[in-house]
A and B are shown apart, each in its own frame.
Chain A
Amino acid sequence: GPKVLQIPSHQIIDMGQMVTLNCDPVSNHLYFYWYKQILGQQMEFLVNFYNGKVMEKSKLFKDQFSVERPDGSYFTLKIQPTALEDSAVYFCASSPGTFNNQAPLFGEGTRLSVL
């Protein structure tokens, strides 16, 4: 079936550096999301994105975070600069439309380790 791909699967960086997490959503999906999960716990919403714009973001989506999807390529989450508390697994998800059609499909996640 359709899959959301995330690259890389694991990223290790030093605190203060910039990191970009990449997501290749399902091709005909229009809505994109980033979620954060710490140690297999509750998934926490960060942001959703549609038609080139951020639709909604949570308080976890700090000023150091940004998202974009230039020219239909990867949907990216950039963190600049990174902090120790940013260490987590970041999941990208996409959906074709509103949840009337289908709940979001999730990728395998990118494990970010900030040292």
Chain B
Amino acid sequence: QQQVRQSPQSLTVWEGETAILNCSYEDSTFNYFPWYQQFPGEGPALLISIRSVSDKKEDGRFTIFFNKREKKLSLHITDSQPGDSATYFCAASFMDSNYQLIWGSGTKLIIKP
């Protein structure tokens, strides 16, 4: 049973457009959601994160929108650049826990110049 789901599996957008990556979860007790960016052959790098008490978190061109009632969140990447081409993972956890992150299966993003 997959507790964190991501869609689409892959996404292609043109340079300068906004890419929207979706994530949903099942466990209503999750309260912390980091997004990781992974380039081929590298480890995942923390990109941006949000706590469930917030409905929006912005960092430069990256914004998380969070809907607690529907247990959904999305990552928006504005003014997409070819260097943003990577796989993006949504993860979930309990913020006061030092335990495991539950990961989605990732969205492979391709930005066409």
Contacts and interface: CB of A to CB of B under 8 A. Distances in A.
Interface centre among B34, B91, B103 (most CB of A within 10 A): B103
B31 to A, nearest CB: 9
Interface in A63-102: 91, 95, 97-100, 102
A58 B46 CA distance: 23
Interface in A3-35: 4, 6, 31, 33
For chain B, what secondary structure do more than half of its interface residues adopt (helix, strand, loop), or is it mixed?
Answer: loop
Nearest to A107: B43
Interface in B43-72: 43-46, 49
B8 to A, nearest CB: 15
Interface of B: 32, 34, 36, 38, 40-46, 49, 87, 89, 91, 93-106
Interface of A: 4, 6, 31, 33, 40-45, 48, 50, 55-56, 58, 91, 95, 97-100, 102-109
30 contacts: A4-B43, A31-B98, A41-B105, A41-B106, A42-B89, A42-B105, A42-B106, A43-B89, A43-B103, A45-B103, A48-B100, A55-B99, A56-B100, A98-B96, A99-B32, A99-B93, A99-B97, A100-B95, A100-B96, A103-B32, A103-B49, A103-B101, A105-B46, A106-B36, A106-B43, A106-B44, A108-B41, A108-B42, A109-B42, A109-B43
